[in-house]
């Protein structure tokens, strides 16, 4: 299996080149145009990403994440969500790397096979970094008005958080 995966990408590149030759596509010109468009997209989404990174850093360093966690914990306890996963629920829609660090901390404290560790794992797999994805995708095509996208994505995240606990209880209890 490892030999197969080693050859997949070079094979795909080779097939694209062969297909381009048969179709008489100017391969190098097409490549440079695509690279230029990629750089333009990168520069167009950079302000959104920088703002998002600054916001996440401010949220963590100011203590606002701790205040939000303590505020939301009673509601989460009522819903059966472990209080140790509340910071993950707050950070996951904003930052993938920040939430990954929280999951690592949960694993070190409680273990990956504990109830809390399993809930954190399912939460990580069942949700998206909503604001990052919206900043990247909407920013790449210069959409300023997200309309209902943020609301729908956050509702999906909340549903995933609640269902993560439910499914871990159903499958591992």
Q: Return per-residue pLDDT of the chain as tens, 173 residues.
A: 577 878 888 999 999 999 989 998 898 899 899 899 888 878 877 887 787 778 777 887 898 888 988 999 899 989 899 999 999 998 899 888 788 888 999 999 999 999 999 999 999 999 988 888 888 888 778 888 888 999 999 999 999 999 999 999 999 97
Instruction: Please give the tally of structural domains in the chain.
Output: 1
Domain that holds residue 162: 45-172
**Is residue 31 one of the residues assigned to a domain?**
no
Instruction: Write down the pTM of the prediction.
Output: 0.70
Long-range contacts, 163-172 (Cβ 8 Å, 24+): 163/126, 164/119, 164/122, 164/123, 164/126, 165/79, 165/80, 165/81, 165/82, 165/119, 166/80, 167/122, 168/115, 168/118, 168/119, 168/122, 169/80, 172/115, 172/118
C-alpha triplet 34, 38, 42: angle, nearest 5°:
170
Look up tokens 């997200």; give the residue.
146
Radius of gyration of the chain (CA): 21
**Is residue 2 one of the residues assigned to a domain?**
no
């Amino acid at each position: 299996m490892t030999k197969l995966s080693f050859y997949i990408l070079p094979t795909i590149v080779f097939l694209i080149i062969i297909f381009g030759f048969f179709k008489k596509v100017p391969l190098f010109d097409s490549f440079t145009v695509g690279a230029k468009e990629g750089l333009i997209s990168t520069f167009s989404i950079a302000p959104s990403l920088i703002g998002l990174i600054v916001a996440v850093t401010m949220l963590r360093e100011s203590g606002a994440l701790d205040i939000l966690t303590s505020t939301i914990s009673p509601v989460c306890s009522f819903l059966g969500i472990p209080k140790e996963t509340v910071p993950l629920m707050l950070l996951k829609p904003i930052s993938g790397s920040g939430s990954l660090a929280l999951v690592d901390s949960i694993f070190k404290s409680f273990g990956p096979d504990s109830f809390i560790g399993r809930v954190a794992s399912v939460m990580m797999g069942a949700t998206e970094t909503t604001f990052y994805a919206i900043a990247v995708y909407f920013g790449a095509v210069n959409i300023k008005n997200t309309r209902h996208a943020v609301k729908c994505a956050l509702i999906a995240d909340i549903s995933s958080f609640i269902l993560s606990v439910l499914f871990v209880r159903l499958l591992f209890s």
